[in-house]
C-alpha cells in the first residue's frame, strides 16, 4: 500500500481551499459495498465532514453511478453537488437536472429495464435496478457471482445493442446507459470548470472511477485516492497516488482536510 502521507496529498492540502475541489464516489468509497444496494449507508461521519468541507472548498461533489436523488437521500449532507448515473444528471440543492441529450434516452432505458426484468427473472440472486437514466443488473447475491456475471454481461450487451444503448461493466454489476460521451471524468471536468478550480482530489474504488481519476490529472495540483479490495480492477493501483483499505480511511483523509 502506498503511504497516505504521499506528497500529492500534502500538496493538495496546502492549496487554499477556495481554489480547490474535492470529488468522491459513493459506493465502495464513502459507503461499504453491500450485497443489497438498497442497504448501503455512508460511513459514520462522512456526511458531516463533507458538509463542513463544502463551506470551505470551492466545490465538494459526489460523482456516482447511483441516481443523484438516491445518494442525496442516503448521505444527507447539505452544500454538495451530486453528479448521478455516471454524470448523466446532476443534483444541487433540491433540483435534479439531466444532462443535454440524456433525457431523450429515458424511454429506451425504461424499455430495456422491462426487457431485462423479463429475461433475468429466473436467475437466482440477480436483481435489476432502475435508475431513470440508466439500469443496473447486480449479480453479487447470485450463488456463483462470477458465472452469473458472464451470463448477465452477454444478455445486457444484447439488450443494449438492440435498444441503441451502451453496456458498461463494474464490480459485480453490468449497466445500460445512453450512448453518450459522458462518464465520471466528464462530470468532474464540467463541475471543475464551472468553479474555476486549480487543484482537485478524487476518491474512488471501481473501473468507472478511473475516468474521473484521469480527469483530475489535468490540474496543476491533484491527488487521487484509491480504495483497494480483492475486487478492485488492476488499473486502480496504477492510477492512484494513495491506496487505502476502505471508507473509514477515506473519511479519515477527508477529516485531515477539515482544519
pLDDT in tens, 87-100: 999 998 788 999 88
What is the pLDDT, as a whole number, of residue 76? 85
What is the pLDDT, as a whole number, of residue 20? 98
What is the pLDDT, as a whole number, of residue 70? 94
Catalytic residue among 3, 25, 70, 258: 25
What is the pLDDT, as a whole number, of residue 98? 92
pLDDT in tens, 219-253: 989 999 999 988 888 899 999 999 999 999 999 99
What is the pLDDT, as a whole number, of residue 73? 93
| Residues of the chain falling short of pLDDT 70 | 1-5
Q: Tell me if 26 sits within 8 A of 71, measured CB to CB.
A: yes
- For residues 141 and 126, what is the distance between their CA atoms, to the nearest angstrom? 7
* Distance from chain centroid for Cα 22: 13
What is the pLDDT, as a whole number, of residue 185? 97
Instruction: Report how far apart, in Å, the C-alpha atoms of 244 and of each of 27, 44, 60, 117, 219 are.
Output: 15, 17, 20, 36, 22
What is the pLDDT, as a whole number, of residue 203? 98
Q: Mark whether 25 is an active-site residue.
A: yes
What is the pLDDT, as a whole number, of residue 1? 42
List the domains of the chain with CATH numbers: 7-99+182-257 (3.40.50.1000), 103-178 (3.30.70.1020)
What is the pLDDT, as a whole number, of residue 94? 81
Amino acid at each position: 500500500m502506498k503511504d497516505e502521507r504521499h506528497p500529492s496529498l500534502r500538496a493538495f492540502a496546502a492549496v487554499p481551499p477556495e481554489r480547490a475541489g474535492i470529488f468522491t464516489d459513493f459506493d465502495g468509497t464513502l459507503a461499504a459495498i453491500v450485497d443489497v444496494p438498497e442497504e448501503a449507508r455512508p460511513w459514520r461521519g462522512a456526511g458531516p465532514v463533507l458538509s463542513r468541507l463544502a463551506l470551505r472548498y470551492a466545490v465538494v461533489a459526489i460523482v456516482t453511478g447511483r441516481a443523484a436523488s438516491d445518494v442525496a437521500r442516503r448521505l444527507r449532507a447539505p452544500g454538495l453537488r451530486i453528479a448521478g448515473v455516471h454524470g448523466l444528471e446532476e443534483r444541487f440543492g433540491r433540483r435534479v437536472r439531466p444532462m443535454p441529450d440524456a433525457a431523450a434516452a429515458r424511454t429506451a432505458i425504461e424499455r430495456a429495464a422491462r426487457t431485462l426484468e423479463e429475461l433475468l427473472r429466473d436467475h437466482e440472486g440477480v436483481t435489476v435496478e432502475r435508475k431513470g437514466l440508466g439500469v443496473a443488473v447486480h449479480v453479487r447475491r447470485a450463488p456463483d457471482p462470477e458465472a452469473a456475471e458472464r451470463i448477465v454481461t452477454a444478455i445486457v450487451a444484447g439488450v443494449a445493442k438492440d435498444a441503441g444503448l451502451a453496456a458498461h461493466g463494474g464490480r459485480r454489476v453490468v449497466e445500460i446507459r445512453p450512448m453518450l460521451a459522458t462518464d465520471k471524468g466528464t462530470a468532474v471536468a464540467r463541475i471543475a470548470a464551472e468553479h474555476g478550480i486549480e487543484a482537485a482530489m478524487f476518491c474512488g474504488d471501481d473501473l468507472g472511477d478511473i475516468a474521473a481519476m484521469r480527469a483530475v490529472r489535468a490540474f496543476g495540483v491533484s491527488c487521487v485516492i484509491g480504495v483497494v479490495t480483492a475486487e478492485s480492477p488492476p488499473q486502480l493501483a496504477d492510477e492512484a497516488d494513495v491506496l487505502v483499505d476502505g471508507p473509514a480511511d477515506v473519511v479519515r483523509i477527508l477529516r485531515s482536510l477539515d482544519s
